[in-house]
Every structure is written in structure tokens, then in C-alpha cells.
Structure 1
């Protein structure tokens, strides 16, 4: 049986093929029927379409996609990417990764993904709204959206605003549908979104890294101590995922020493102030020129190659390749983005003793909290609303009884801390943390069960393939 590092990969990066090769690599450690494995890899539905929009006195053709990779669970789930670089191969790959991602963190969705081939910066708000609403109408016409069918979410280039337009368009075209708001997640709180969704992916990345470095045995093999305290981190991308990954890693005790963006990179071995860097970029349009950086690089890729313990690529795919992997000094790569490390680069990094926390686990925080939002929309009640005051009153009664029997008097601050019932945000974060903790150790146990499994990615795919295969067999498709 071949090791993961022995699998031969194509030189040119083809994202969907990369994902399929990872499945093939994991399949070596399973006993599933070849036909079943082919079904697990295949994209079930690929909808490619185009539509015109008016810009001034002329028309422009917009190219768009929606891919539903797997229907072993319903609905399917996945974000919509707004980018000039969107293509069919990328959307298919991201849809496939969503299938495996949901299986890994035990979220009952099939995988899907959407893409609109535009640069949002080149359009007015009104034009973006027109594009988003027309895209939604096209999905509705083909039955590619609905709370029990396919549930989009934000992705690169889109956010709460675009999700609110999608929700409103779906509501308009489906009057009286009770669960209509469950047609999309990542909505604003005012439109029945959920607390914590915006920062969920970055928070999940931080939880994933924290769990990885908490295993003393694994860290010893890297020459590191257990725990995040003092670990040096470089983050690529200051968007939603990168910013919040850095924010929570700092809260957990890590030191962010570098930031990389498309315009360049900055570095300071003593640490960088996240909000100060963010505000500098907001005011100047670039992270370059930040006065507290000891080094800066006009070539962003050079920032990835500086000294650190943990590298967090949280931008786009194919950022770490066989062309630069030998210069990467980090001992852990935590994939905040989808597919930032090519298979050849990943194999080389692991061969040299590094650990890669794979994307379909590391960035699963977003879909996990999207699942909570979907449940909230179907139940029509916010988390914590029914029980929060009851919990507070019960805790107050317990404190009163303890004080009366022991003679100990708690301060007002202590009483408030103990009595407090959980808010929606606290419940969401608790559910996310539990999901990321359990899933990491489930993946690691698979890896440790067989010495020939040489990466967490392969272990994660093995677990995902097994779960999806069981779902198909339970559907009666395979005996």
C-alpha cells in the first residue's frame, strides 16, 4: 500500500483534480467499492449560466455557476464567491471540499458552491444588488436554492449584504413559505442571522490550531512546546478569516509576527499589533509603510517565507506550491483558506516532518455556525431565548442557598458572573468550540491508528469518505 507522499500528482495545479487525488489517496485505507468511491468524488449537478445586466446605456454578460457536489445529505450547502478568477473547476473543487468538510465536522449537509465571475470593486452597490438578485432568480428557476434544497452562504467577495439580497429575493418569489429565511445563511442579525457567524471561520481556525499544538507528543516531534503561548504566527490575508484568525490566536497567547496581503507583506519578530496594522491598511490602502514593521516585502510571497512556528494562509488557493515550499520555515501550516497548499507542496512539507492542519477541517467554523443559523431559522427562535432567564434564576437560588448555609457572602461581581445565563453568542461559540475540539481528535485518532497514514489531511478524508459511504449505503443505493 502506497504512502500518501508516494502518490504522483500532476505538475500543473488543477484544483478539482487535486481534491479527487486526495480522495484516491485516502481510499487506499478503506474497503469501499470502486463505483461507490467514484460516486463520492463526482459532482452530481453543475449549473453553468450567464445573464445580462444593464450598465448605463450598454449591457454586460455575467458568467456564473452553482455546483451541488453530493446529495448524500440534504440540503446541500456552500458559499458564493465573487471573483474575476472564478471558474468551473474551482467551483467544482470547492463544492467537493464542502461535502468532505461537512462530513468531518458532522454537519448534516451535502456540499455545494457558487461563483460569479466579477470583481465587486468594479461595480456600484446598485449594480451588485442587481447581479446578486438576478443570480438568485436563476437559481430559483432551476430549483437550486431553498431551505431543504441548497443553502448558499458568504464566501470570498461576498458578505451579509449580499446574503440579505438573496434572502429578500427568495422571500419575494416564495410568499408564505414558513421556512423561507433558511434559504441562505450568513445573513445580518436583523434578518434572522445568528450571533458569531461573521467571525466563525477565523475563530474555528484558531480553535483548530490550539488543539493541534495542545498535543505535547506531536509538538515534541517538531521541537516545540505544547500550547499556543509564545508561538510565532504569520497570517496571509487580512480579510474576514485572516483578521479573526489572528485576533483569536493572539487572545490564546500566540504572537503574530507577520501579515501578507496581495500588495506585499510586513514582519516584526517581536510581534505586530493587529488592529493597528488593520487601521493602517484601511487609511492608506496598503499594509506597506507600516511604521512598526522591521521588514517589508513588495512581493507578498516573501512574507510567507519568514521565521515563524505557524503559517496561516487565509487568502486563496495555490499559494504554497512546489516552487516555494522549500523556503517555508514554519513547522505547522494551518489552512484558513480553501486549497492554499498544492498536493506536491503538501507532500514535501510532511516528508520534512511538518504538520498541515487541512483546510476542510481548519476552516469548517463557518459552515458549523451556518448550520446553527439554519437550525435557528427552521425553529424560529433564537438560541438561549427560552432558557436563559430560567438558568439565571436557578443559579441565583443556588447562590442564595449556599450563602445562607455557609455564611459566605459573594460580591456583586461574583454573583453576576455565576448567575449569568448563556447568550446566543455564548451558545454558538460553545457549539463551535466543541465541534472543532471533537473533530480534531477524531481526525488525529484515525491518523494514529495506522502508521502508513502520514498526514492529518489523509486521515480527515478517510473519516469523511467513510461517513459519506455509510450514508449512500443507508440510502439503499449500494448493498
Structure 2
């Protein structure tokens, strides 16, 4: 990953922190809201910052591990945000990501405050047993400082972590809080057997797909870009084939879009006639690289794939990959920020002047936290989604089909019967809730963009929506005498 502590803007020749970049976007939007300076400063500030160092025995020695947890906003509780394992973890990055979580939750109407955590390690250098020791010790440190709990702060997976690490966290928390009925709700992204929810793995990538699909279904917006409505036939470039990038690419391809470029850290490949995602993934698994894929052209420098001819560009890997130095070379008409902070503020200025629609990360990659919210609710209710209504729905559908057959004298085929009688499983309900969330939130942002004179980009409109919701919450709390 890129070092996000400081990023140099080529066009402006200035250095700024990732967190200051988030604040810059906040300030740009804040002037379009009604809140006084003091409330805006409270919304913007990180409420609680925990920096910890703890020893863990690794091999024959002891390592001192550096870690963080930031609670950006307490306007809603619990706080919510992932935990990443990376050598690039630092306080500035964690603060910025926690702030983005506050605004992200507000946009998609998820009642959480923003949080984020990180451990400064390279997970590839440790055995699973060593990673387990580090994760469990980190969890115990969070518990000591009251930085974890179902109603306090609920972590989730992020870069370098997954369901395995979440299972260690929930087990450690439960052992430290014996008898706590809602212990499973202390973390999301867990394995299904430990209270996880079906659909969480693909949630962020699916949310990216839903968000871009909704944009492409708006005739007015597509006309302004000189594009037809719908995703079918549109040329897409995806940078990053991790969990988010892979699933976003998968759903784009299934919808009829052409994957004309795929990029990973080892390089990129392109084919204007389209790439078969699953074959590329199989090739990478076999050879260790996406390079030299049959029928594709190699691009040795991965970042150059961002400048390919395409309709839609999906940066789904690193922060600050599009900046003042390369923004002018971007040819995409739509950029969907699947990663956190892939565009710097200077890049925003250049791309907005070019008429590019940038769909901001704080909305577009909110699928993960949306489904995490569903998992948290499931853990608090102690019942699987669909358990109460699935059979009832199937029986009702059966009665309707039977009535139709009796009235018409015709019978539906077995395949049609199977489709018509299908009651909602947990994953069906999760997908439905996510789709509705992404569609509703997109139109909230679009309405803010249209209704505020002087607002020219979706990021500013998204910040306006978030600030308004968080500001109202603070007002209702009555903490400003």
C-alpha cells in the first residue's frame, strides 16, 4: 500500500496528510450547510484516539507491536469501522479512515459513529498462530480501554484481515465478558458459524456495482456524458483484484459490461474486446501473476492502467493513486471510488473541470458497513434473517400459483414453479436491503447536487448530506448549552 501519512500533490507542490485531505473536502461542503462553526468543528474532530504498544512473543524473541483505534464521532453509538494489518498503518491514516466512516454511515443511514483501527505489521511475515496472538492481545488492549463492545465500538475486517481475525476477536471479547448475552455483536464480518451474516464477503463489491448501475440508469446523467443508459457494453477498468475489486468486476461482467483492463501490484493487462475475469483469476492462481494472460496486452506499470480508454474506472486498491500528476491523463468518464481515498483533492479539481463524474468512496464502498449493520442487528436479535418468514412466504406463493392454475387451466413448468415459490433466504434479504440502501442514498446525493447552487461534484454533495445528518444528531443530543 502507498504511504498515506503524507502525499505529495505534483500539481500543487504541497504536502498534506490523508486526514487533512478529508478535512479539506469537509470544509468545501460545510459552507453549504446551516450549522455554526462550533458544531462543524465538533463534527470534524476525532473524539477519541488510542495509540498502544504491546509486547508479543514471536519465535524466540519479543516484538513490540504498534496499534491504533480511533473513534471519530460519538453522535451515534456504537462506533463502527474496520481493523487493518499493514506496515503503512499510522495515526493519520486511521484518523482519516475513521472520519470517512462517520460520513459513510450517515450517507447510507446506518446509525453508527465512525471508527477505525490498525496494527502496524506485515501479516505475510507471521504464522497464523503468531497472528492469532497479536490479534487477541490487541483485542484485550481495546477491552481494557473500553474501545470495543456491542454498544461501544464494533470493529470489522479491512485490508489484511478477514473472518478468521474477527473470529479471534469475538472469542477473546466473549472470554473477557463471560455471560454477556450480546457478545457476538462486538464485531462484524465473522464466520457464519459464529454469528456472521450471509452476503458479507461480497457486500462492498456488490455495493459498488449497485451504485454505478444506478448512476448509469439515470438518462440525464448519461446524456451529459455522451453515454447510453445501462451497463451493457460499457468498457470498465478495475484496479485491484482483492475482495472488493474482484466482486465489483464480477458483477459488472455479469451485467454485460466489458472488462477492458485489470490491474494488480505486479502490473496490468488490457484487451479492448474484454477480459474473462474468472480465467484471469485462474491464470493468476496458476502462475502467480495476471501478466502474460493469453490474448491480453501487458502493461508493466500497474498505475498506467488507470489511463486506459474506458467508460468506467474502478480504483479498488490503494489510496491516492489518482493525483495532480496523472489526473489530466484519465480518459474514463465515470470514476467509482471502490477503495478509500483513491483520489486526492487536487485530482478532484482537475477531473471535475473535465466533466468526469466521480462517485465518492464515502458512498460507493458503503456496502460493507451496510451489511455489517445487518449482521449487528442479527446478533442483537439472535435470529437468522428469513427464519420467520421463508416458509410462510413459500406457502402463500404456492396458494397464489395454485389459484392461477385453477383459473386458467394451465400449469407452470417445474422451473417456473421453483422460481415463483422461492421464499427469501438470508442472503436474498441482505442483497435486497443493500440494493435499496445504495439506490436510495444515490438519489439523496444527486438531489443535494442539484439543489445547491455552486456544488459541482458528487463528493461535495455527499459531504453535505453527511454533515446535515450528523449535525442534526448532535443538536438533538443537546450537548451544546
TM-score normalised according to structure 2 size: 0.96
Partner in structure 1 of residue 95 of structure 2: 92
Cα distance between partner residues in 2 of 1:247 and 1:97? 26
Cα distance between partner residues in 1 of 2:248 and 2:411? 40
Partner in structure 2 of residue 3 of structure 1: none
Cα distance between partner residues in 2 of 1:25 and 1:351? 16
Partner in structure 2 of residue 282 of structure 1: 285
Contact 2:12 2:324 in 1 (8 A): no
1:307-318 aligned within 5 A: 307-318=309-320
Query: Alignment partner for residue 369 of structure 1, among 371, 377, 381?
Result: 371
Query: Alignment partner for residue 38 of structure 1, among 34, 38, 41?
Result: 41
Query: Alignment partner for residue 402 of structure 1, among 387, 401, 404?
Result: 404
- Deviation (angstroms), 1:406: 2.4
Contact 1:78 1:153 in 2 (8 A): yes
Query: What are the superposed Cα offsets for residues 133-159 of structure 1, whole Å, 9 maximum, x if unpaired?
Result: 111000001010000000000000100
Q: Which moved more, 1:346-355 or 1:49-58?
A: 49-58
- Deviation (angstroms), 1:11: 2.7
1:52-67 aligned within 5 A: 52-67=55-70
Partner in structure 2 of residue 21 of structure 1: 24
Partner in structure 2 of residue 225 of structure 1: 228
Instruction: Name the SS of the counterpart of 1:78 in structure 2.
Output: strand
- Deviation (angstroms), 1:170: 0.6
Contact 1:13 1:318 in 2 (8 A): no
Q: Does 1:49 find its partner at 2:52?
A: yes
Contact 1:76 1:109 in 2 (8 A): yes
Query: What are the superposed Cα offsets for residues 251-309 of structure 1, whole Å, 9 maximum, x if unpaired?
Result: 1221111111111111111111111111211222211122221x212211111111111
Spell out structure 1 runs of 4+ moving beyond 3 A.
none
Partner in structure 1 of residue 209 of structure 2: 206
In structure 1, list runs of 5 or more residues that go unmatched. 1-7
- Deviation (angstroms), 1:52: 1.2
Query: What are the superposed Cα offsets for residues 69-100 of structure 1, whole Å, 9 maximum, x if unpaired?
Result: 00000000000011111110000000000000
Cα distance between partner residues in 1 of 2:399 and 2:226? 50
Q: 1:187 to 1:9 in 2, by over 3 A?
A: farther
Q: Does 1:181 find its partner at 2:184?
A: yes
Q: 1:162 to 1:305 in 2, by over 3 A?
A: same
- Deviation (angstroms), 1:10: 7.8
Partner in structure 2 of residue 267 of structure 1: 270
Cα distance between partner residues in 2 of 1:270 and 1:356? 25
Q: Does 1:110 find its partner at 2:113?
A: yes
1:365-444 aligned within 5 A: 365-444=367-446
Cα distance between partner residues in 1 of 2:394 and 2:362? 38
Query: What are the superposed Cα offsets for residues 402-428 of structure 1, whole Å, 9 maximum, x if unpaired?
Result: 222222222222222111100000000
Query: What are the superposed Cα offsets for residues 193-227 of structure 1, whole Å, 9 maximum, x if unpaired?
Result: 00000000000000011011111111111111111
Instruction: Name the SS of the counterpart of 2:15 in structure 1.
Output: coil
Partner in structure 2 of residue 239 of structure 1: 242
Instruction: Name the SS of the counterpart of 1:12 in structure 2.
Output: strand
Cα distance between partner residues in 2 of 1:204 and 1:157? 20
Instruction: Name the SS of the counterpart of 1:77 in structure 2.
Output: strand
Contact 1:13 1:342 in 2 (8 A): no
Contact 1:9 1:343 in 2 (8 A): no
Partner in structure 2 of residue 77 of structure 1: 80
Query: Alignment partner for residue 338 of structure 2, among 330, 336, 345?
Result: 336
Query: Alignment partner for residue 141 of structure 1, among 141, 144, 148?
Result: 144
Q: Give the paired residue count.
A: 471
Query: Alignment partner for residue 323 of structure 1, among 311, 316, 325?
Result: 325
Cα distance between partner residues in 2 of 1:104 and 1:114? 21
Cα distance between partner residues in 2 of 1:303 and 1:405? 59
Cα distance between partner residues in 1 of 2:14 and 2:214? 33
- Deviation (angstroms), 1:9: 7.8
**RMSD of aligned Cα (Å):** 1.2
Partner in structure 2 of residue 451 of structure 1: 453
Cα distance between partner residues in 1 of 2:336 and 2:98? 20
Q: Which moved more, 1:255-264 or 1:74-83?
A: 255-264
Partner in structure 2 of residue 4 of structure 1: none
In structure 2, list runs of 5 or more residues that go unmatched. 1-10
Query: Alignment partner for residue 156 of structure 1, among 143, 159, 177?
Result: 159
Cα distance between partner residues in 2 of 1:291 and 1:85? 34
Q: Does 1:190 find its partner at 2:232?
A: no
Contact 2:280 2:293 in 1 (8 A): yes
1:5-20 aligned within 5 A: 11-20=14-23
- Deviation (angstroms), 1:451: 3.4
Cα distance between partner residues in 2 of 1:412 and 1:228? 32
